[in-house]
Amino acid sequence: MLACSWSVTSLAPYLSNRRYGTGFCCKAIDLQSHANGDQDNEIKKKKKKKVVIVGSGWAGLGAAHHLCNQGFDVTVLEGSPEDVGIRGYWYPHRNIFSLVDELGIKPFTNWIKSAQYSGEGLEVEFPIFQDLPQLPTPLGTLYYSQFTRLPLFDRLTSLPLLAAVVDFDNTDTAWKKYDSITARELFKQFGCSERLYRDVFGPLLQVGLFAPAEQCSAAATLGVLVYILSHQKDFDMVWCRGTVKEKIFEPWIDFMRTKGCEILEGRRVTDFSFNEETSCISEVICGRESYNADAVILAVGIARLQELIKNSAVLRTREEFLKVLNLASIDVVTVKLHLDRKVKIPNASNVCSGFDDSFGWTLFDLNVIHDEHKDDPVTVIQADFYHSNEFLPLKDEDIVAKVMSYLSKCIKDFESASVVDKEIGRLPQSLTHFFPGSYKYMMRGATSFSNVFMAGDWIINRHGSWSQEKSYVTGLEAANRVVDYLEEGSFAKIIPVEEDEPHIEALRILNRRFNEFRDQVPLSNFLLQ
């Protein structure tokens, strides 16, 4: 718990409860009262159930937030929250939007238009879809997006993909059915044109799933498409008006600390203690320190969990943890550049591709998005490169040269600009790789340890959300499992994903009935699906 300093200020509520005036300045206090107060607090603390959370991203902080509100003694280890991955927050991120309202903070921009570039220049501009007349999905997204070079016929070849979207209902069966094939195979099976795949779907996947489409699971692809295209407005996004750490995580952590939550930086977990009598994890070990735990939540990424499994004599005794060693992560490089002049960037948020098929990247105009750069006399941009294996070993100046070359091909005005300051971030193995066949190795929210629960964007759940929202939701789900296991507190209320539009729901019902009928046909399972 947070250390208490017995000062006049901290004693004010204590004294007022005992009919001392609020104008109290300095008065001798019976030492025995101090001793009794300390003893009472220690007794109350001991009565609280202890929950240890490993990880301090959206998942870990989400779990900690609810549990400390329920009166648990919560300790968060490996506390140094960063937000890596998709920078924007889609319209369906309703649980995150509800959280920031609860915290009373205003971290987000208004809805912002975005665009997509290739090596040939501007490919498509996306409007703010909620401001336009609502059309049945996916017609609104297809009709209102401004394609500058892609012919109408190529765009229409996306319509047959609706059959796969209808068939994919986020069930375990649907994930297993589509997870064995690549996104590229999916688009090919449903008649997507080569140009639509190359110039639109492929690049969007490279920044949505962080890898080339031929390295992405078709199931994960459909999961993303269903989430952001189920309603016309779902594709709209807002951005954080500064770093997520500064605008959201820091005030969030400050709030939780007022509730008694202990968030510790520099405490790296090395192992766990297993109690043979209870068949539970009893302690979380950080080198020479240990933390007692009635329940544990692991809310870390795949690479960090793999490191823990390899080093932990406890975790590697369980099959579901060993399977995690088959999973993979993706490298990210972030580049923030200060230029020597103003460059006109038509849209503040951009997806870029076509310069190298092995990675995708995003471009953000921080003069528009971040408060601190709104009045800067020069342009400040950020480019994030996903699946950036080839970037990691390069020197900073070589990375900057490549980035400026790419920028110039997207927007000509960058050719006359020079870099005056740079910030390069190398984040190896920081994002989940949803590769074909990965689903069978991923973990669920509960484990074979009765008091250990999981959270994160790669954890299997049925909410249907994606990205930061999924991480946060799985954190709330893990908190609910702790509440259920310890039989204390109330469950967190999780806002469900908005229901399908009537025509999609009707098609899903028909598709489900057809699948049920087909399964009853003799030898229906004989052929490879």
Which H or E element spans position 32?
Answer: helix 31-47
Looking at residue 82, its pLDDT comes to 74
- Return the amino acid letter for 161: L
Query: 50-83+244-327+438-486 is classed in which CATH architecture?
Result: 3-Layer(bba) Sandwich (3.50)
CATH of domain 85-242+328-436: 3.50.50.60
Q: What pLDDT band is residue 71 in, cutting at 50, 70 and 90? A: very high
- Number of H helices and E strands in the chain, helices first, is 20, 18
The letter for the amino acid at 125 is E
- Tens digit of each residue's pLDDT (9 = 90 or more) over 156-189: 999 999 999 999 999 999 999 999 999 999 999 9
Q: Model confidence over 257-309: pLDDT tens digits?
A: 999 999 999 899 999 999 999 999 999 999 999 999 999 999 999 999 999 99
Label residue 42 by pLDDT band (50, 70, 90). Answer: low
Write down the pTM of the prediction: 0.89
Tens-place pLDDT, residues 73-107: 999 999 877 778 888 999 999 999 999 999 999 99
Q: How far apart are CA 66 and CA 167, in angstroms?
A: 35
Phi, psi of 351 (to 5 degrees): -105, 135
- Taking alpha carbons only, the member of 269, 270, 354, 255 closest to residue 55 is 269
Q: Are 46 and 289 in contact (CB under 8 A)?
A: no
What distance in Å separates the CA atoms of residue 123 and residue 202, rounded to the nearest whole number? 13
Residues of the chain with CATH 3.50.50.60: 50-83+244-327+438-486, 85-242+328-436
pLDDT, tens digit (0-9, with 9 covering 90-100), for 304-323? 999 999 999 999 999 999 99
Average pLDDT over every residue of 328-344: 96
Task: Fill in the amino acid letter for 452.
Answer: V
Contact at 8 Å (CB) between 394 and 387? no
Placement of tokens 């005992």 in the chain: 18
| 174: nearest Cα among 527, 508, 524, 510 | 508
pLDDT above 50: residue 4: no
